[in-house]
Amino acid sequence: MSDQAPPDSPEFDAAIDALERQLSVLWRRARANSHRVARQVHPDMEPAAYGLLAILQREESMRLTDLAANIGVGKPSVSRQIAMLEQLGLVHKQADPVDGRAQSISLTEAGRTRLAAAQLARKEAFRNRLGDWRVKDLDALADLLDRLNQSYAHEPPLH
């Protein structure tokens, strides 16, 4: 027996309503946590910039247009965030080795160090909250969140 209800059914609507309520709570809590984590990196850093730092950590360096495309936000928004991060000494720009007209953005040593310390604190907070969860439940949640994130992957960027 399938538990797949048609998208126009009352059961599907109820499930979407429950999901929306839980995601709203999660987003509010995640926003508050993002403020705390951003302040751990630098007291003047905006929370949205944390994600940019994490991408630069993973990719080592990126062009502004690629960074904007990676997070699905318009180039002007990312440009403002990068300018702020550069003023805080967390990122720096250099000529792109492939295209000298473009600039490549990467973390400074201070940016790497501060981001790593904040990530360690964040990981410890997750351990404290989720320490009684089974690994298979954590994996299932991560897989479902990945599936949800992938469903948003092809939306046009916000400006």
Domain ranges of the chain: 28-151
Three-state DSSP at 84 gives helix
pLDDT at 69: 87
The CATH classification of domain 28-151, taken from the options 3.30.460.10, 1.10.10.200, 1.10.10.10, 3.60.21.10: 1.10.10.10
Task: Look at residues 96, 67, 72, 71 and name the one whose alpha carbon lies nearest to residue 82.
Answer: 67
**pTM assigned to the model:** 0.72
Backbone angles phi, psi at 46, to 5 degrees: -80, 145
pLDDT class of 35 with cuts at 50, 70, 90:
confident
pLDDT at 1: 44
